Structure 1
Amino acid sequence: MLGKILKKLDTAASHFEEWTLFIIVITALIALFFNVVLRYGFNYTLAWSEELVRIVIIYSTFIGASVAVKQRAMIRIDAVVQIFPRLKKGLTFYTNILMLVFAGMMIYYGYKMTHLQLLTHQKTIIMQIPLVVVYAVMPVTGLMVFLRTVQVMVQDFTSK
C-alpha cells in the first residue's frame, strides 16, 4: 500500500518537474528567438524577454536540482571512493545526509526570503511580476530536493 502511494507521488513529481522544465525553457527560447529577430531584423528589442529568461534560468536551476538528485546526477568528488571502494556506502550515506541538510537550509532560508518579499510587495522592473513568485521556487524545490534525497536513500537501503 505504502509502496503504491510512494510510486504515484514519484510519478506525479516527475511529471511536474519534466513538464515545468519543458514549458519554461520553450517559453524562454521562443521569447529569445523573437527578440533576436526583432533586434537584428527591425532594430527593435523586447526588454521583457531578458527578464523572462533570467526568471527561467532561476526556475530551471532549482527544479533541475531536484531532477538531478532523483537521477543521481549531482556533482560529486569520488576520488576517495575510487581509492577506497569499501567506503562507497558510508560516503554515499554521508553525502545524502549533507544533501538533506542543504535542502533544509533551502527550505528555511527560502521561506524567510519569500516571506520578506511578500511583506515588501516588490515586483520585477519590466514585467511587474511579484518577486514572491520568483523567490517561492526556493523553498518549494528545497522540499522537492529533500523528498528526492529521502527517496534515493530508501532505494539505496532497500537495494542492499
Structure 2
Amino acid sequence: MRKIENIFSVLTGISLAVVFIVTFGQVIQRYVFQLPMPWATDVIRIFFVYSIFLGMGVGVFKKAHLNIDVLVQVFPSWAKPWFDLLSNVVVSIFLSFVLYFSIPFIKANADQVTPYLLFPMSYIYMIIPIAVSFMVLFLFLDTAKLLVTLFGRDKFTNSGSR
C-alpha cells in the first residue's frame, strides 16, 4: 500500500502543478497579451477533479481524514483504537455509498464532453470509483489490523481449539 500511497501523492502533486501552471499561464495570456485561452478552463477542471480525489486517497492513506481529536484526547489511551475502528467503519460506509453511486453517475455523463477539448466527461469522473476503491481497500486492511491488535492474533488464528 505504501507504493500506491506514493503514486497517489505524486499524481496529486502533478495535478496541482498543472492547475497552477495553466491558471498562471491563462492569467498572463489574458491580461498581458489580451488573448484568451479557452481550452485552459477544461484542463484546469480535469486536473482539479483529479487532484481532489487523489488527494482524498492520500488523506485516507495517511489517516488524516476528519477526526475528533479533542474527544479522543479526553478518553483513556485504551479507547483510541476503538475510536479508530469506529472512524474506519463510518468512513468506509460513506465511501461505499460514493463508490456505489459513482458508476451510474459516470454512465449518466457518458455522452457529455468538455466544451473546448471535447474530452469525454466520463473519463474525468472515472477517477471517483478508482480512488474510492483504493480508499475502501486501505480502510478494510487497516480495520483488519486494528481488529488484530484489539483482540489479539490468537483469537483469529486459533479456531476455538484448546
SS of the residue corresponding to residue 22 of structure 1 reads helix
Identity among equivalent pairs (%): 22
* Whole-angstrom distance in 1 between the partners of 2:103 and 2:74: 40
Task: Pick the structure with greater CA Rg.
Answer: 2
Structure 1: unaligned runs, 5 residues or longer: 1-9
Pairwise CA distance, 1:157: 4.3
Conserved? CA contact 1:96–1:153, under 8 Å: yes
Match of residue 115, structure 1, among 107, 110, 122 = 107
In terms of fraction of residues, the more helix-rich structure is: 1
Paired position in structure 2 for 1:53: 44
Pairwise CA distance, 1:155: 4.1
Residue identity opposite 1:79 in structure 2: V
Match of residue 97, structure 2, among 105, 109, 113 = 105
| TM-score, with length taken from structure 2 | 0.81
Conserved? CA contact 1:28–1:49, under 8 Å: no
Aligned residues: 149
Q: Assess, with a 3 A threshold, how the Cα gap between structure 1 residues 123 and 71 changes in structure 2: closer, same or farther.
A: same
SS of the residue corresponding to residue 42 of structure 1 reads coil
Say yes or no: does 1:71 pair with 2:62.
yes
Pairwise CA distance, 1:104: 1.0
Conserved? CA contact 1:104–1:146, under 8 Å: yes
* Whole-angstrom distance in 2 between the partners of 1:71 and 1:146: 13
Paired position in structure 2 for 1:20: 11
Moved more, 92-101 or 19-28: 19-28
| TM-score, with length taken from structure 1 | 0.82
* Whole-angstrom distance in 2 between the partners of 1:159 and 1:27: 42
* Whole-angstrom distance in 2 between the partners of 1:28 and 1:55: 9
* Whole-angstrom distance in 2 between the partners of 1:39 and 1:135: 29
